Chains A and B, each alone.
Chain A
Amino acid sequence: MTSSIPVDHRSPALTLKLAEQINAVITRPWNIMEICGGQTHAILQYGLDQLLPEQIRLIHGPGCPVCVTSLEAIENALTLAGDPRVILTSFGDMLRVPGASTDLLTARSHGADVRVVYSPLEAVKIAQVNPQKQVVFFAIGFETTVPAIAASIQHAHRNHINNFSILPANVLVPPAMEVILGSEALVVNAFLAAGHVCAVMGFHEYLPIAERHRCPIIVTGFEPVDLMTGILMALRQLEEGRTEVENAYSRAVSLEGNLSAQALIKEVFEPVDRKWRGIGLIPQSGLGLKDKYKAYDAVSRFGLAPTPIPESPLCLAGKVLQGLIDPLECPAFAKDCSPTSPLGAPMVSAEGACNAYFRYQKGN
Chain B
Amino acid sequence: MDDISQKLEAFNCPVPLSQHEAILLGHGSGGTLTHELIKCLFQKHLGNEYLNAGNDAAVLPSSNGEKLVISTDAHIVSPLFFPGGDIGRLAVCGTVNDVAMMGARVEALTASFIIEEGLPISDLERIVVSMEKACREANVKIVAGDTKVTAHGDCDGLFISTSGFGWLPSGRQIAGDLAQPGDAVIVSGPLGNHGVAIVQARGDLGFTSSVQSDVAPLNGMIATLLESIPDVHVLRDPTRGGLATTLVEIARQSGVSIELEENKLPIDQAVRAVCDMLGLDPLYMANEGKLVLILPEASAQKALGVLRAHQYGQKAALIGKVHEKSSGKVWLRTTLGTTRVLDMLTSEMLPRIC
Contact = CB atoms under 8 A, between A and B. Distances in A.
B43 interface: no
B340 A93 contact: no
A47 B350 contact: no
Contact of A339 (B278, B338, B347): B347
A12 B336 contact: yes
B20 interface: yes
A258 interface: no
Contact of B341 (A119, A339, A361): A361
B46 interface: no
B245 interface: no
A360 interface: yes
A272 interface: no
B81 to A, nearest CB: 21
B19 A341 contact: yes
Interface stretch (B22-30, B48-56, B132-140, B296-304): B22-30
Interface stretch (B3-11, B63-71, B90-98, B227-235): B3-11
A351 B220 CA distance: 43
Contacts of A109: 22-25
Which size bracket describes the interface of B in this complex?
35 or more
Contacts, number: 131
Contact of A51 (B36, B279, B338): B338
Contact of A95 (B10, B20, B21, B350): B350
Contacts of B4: 328, 333-334, 361-364
B205 interface: yes
B149 interface: no
B33 interface: yes
Given A109-B24, A118-B206, A361 B32 contact: no
B351 interface: yes
Interface stretch (A27-35, A136-144, A277-285, A308-316): A136-144
Contacts of B26: 105, 340
A195 B204 CA distance: 26
A46 B332 CA distance: 10
Interface string B299-340: 000000000000000000000000000000100001111111
A224 interface: yes
B121 interface: no
Contacts of A144: 353-354
B15 interface: yes
Interface string B158-200: 0000000000000000000000000000000000000000000
A165 B292 CA distance: 48
B10 A335 contact: yes
A96 interface: yes
Contact of B346 (A65, A340, A361): A340
Contacts of A94: 353
A117 B7 contact: no
Contacts of A341: 15, 19
A230 B10 CA distance: 37
B350 A92 contact: yes
B352 interface: yes
Contact of B354 (A196, A358, A364): A196
Nearest to A141: B353
Interface residues of A, number: 55
B1 interface: yes
A152 B286 CA distance: 33
Contact of B1 (A44, A51, A140, A328): A328
B352 A361 contact: no
A140 B354 CA distance: 11
Nearest to B263: A12
A10 interface: yes
B204 A118 contact: yes
Given A109-B22, A334-B4, A50 B350 contact: no
B107 interface: no
A141 B354 CA distance: 8
A161 interface: no
Contacts of B36: 340
A364 B341 contact: yes
A157 B188 CA distance: 52
A140 B353 contact: yes
Given A44-B340, A361-B340, A91 B19 contact: no
Given A96-B347, A106-B24, A334 B336 contact: no
B205 A361 contact: no
A292 interface: no
Given A109-B22, A334-B11, A350-B279, A91 B353 contact: yes
Given A116-B350, A117-B204, A360-B340, A106 B7 contact: no
Contact of B336 (A117, A118, A224, A362): A224
10 contacts: A12-B335, A16-B336, A46-B336, A48-B336, A50-B339, A92-B352, A109-B22, A351-B352, A360-B340, A364-B8
Across chains A and B, which 4 residue pairs bring their CB atoms closest together, nearest first?
A47-B338, A92-B350, A361-B341, A363-B1
Given A118-B351, A364-B4, A364-B5, 12 more contacts: A46-B334, A47-B334, A106-B21, A110-B22, A116-B351, A119-B206, A333-B7, A359-B343, A360-B341, A361-B329, A364-B8, A364-B341
